Amino acid sequence: FTPDAADRNVASQLGDRGSMLELYRALLALRRAEPALHAGTYRPIDDVPDGVFGYEREAAGRALRVFLNFTGEAKEIAAAGQVLLSTTPGEAATGRRLGPHEGVVVVER
C-alpha cells in the first residue's frame, strides 16, 4: 500500500467535490450533456495569456469555451458567460480569471 491509500480510493472520494473522482464524474457528465464537447467543431483561441490553452467547441448553435491555466499564477482571460465547470470547486468562478492550474468550461451568452 501507499502512504496515501486511505485518501486515494473511491469510498473516501465519493461525494467530495474537491476529489479527482468527482472531477472526472463531472467532466464525463458535462461531455455527455453537451454535444459541442463530443461532436462539435473545434477552434483554437489565440488571444490567451502565456501559459493558458484555450479552445472553442460548437454544435447546434451552442458555443463552449475551455480554458486551461498551466501556470502557478492567476491569469485574466477574455471570456463572457456562465462557468459550467471549474477544476477548483467552491471558488466564485467568474469566467474572467483563472486561478493557478485551473481549468474552466464556459458557455457563451
pLDDT in tens, 36-79: 999 999 999 999 999 999 999 999 999 999 999 999 999 999 88
In whole angstroms, what is the distance from residue 50 CA to residue 35 CA?
A: 29
Q: How many CA atoms lie within 13 A of 18 on its CB side?
A: 3
Q: Grid coordinates 467535490 are at which residue?
A: 17
pLDDT score of 32: 95
Query: Is the per-residue pLDDT at 11 higher than 70?
Result: no
In whole angstroms, what is the distance from residue 21 CA to residue 59 CA?
A: 28
The residue among 93 and 51 whose pLDDT is bigger is 51
| Helix or strand holding residue 103 (H, E) | strand 103-108
Q: What average pLDDT does this structure show over 32-39?
A: 95
Residue 49 burial (CB count, 10 A): 16
Q: What average pLDDT does this structure show over 21-27?
A: 85
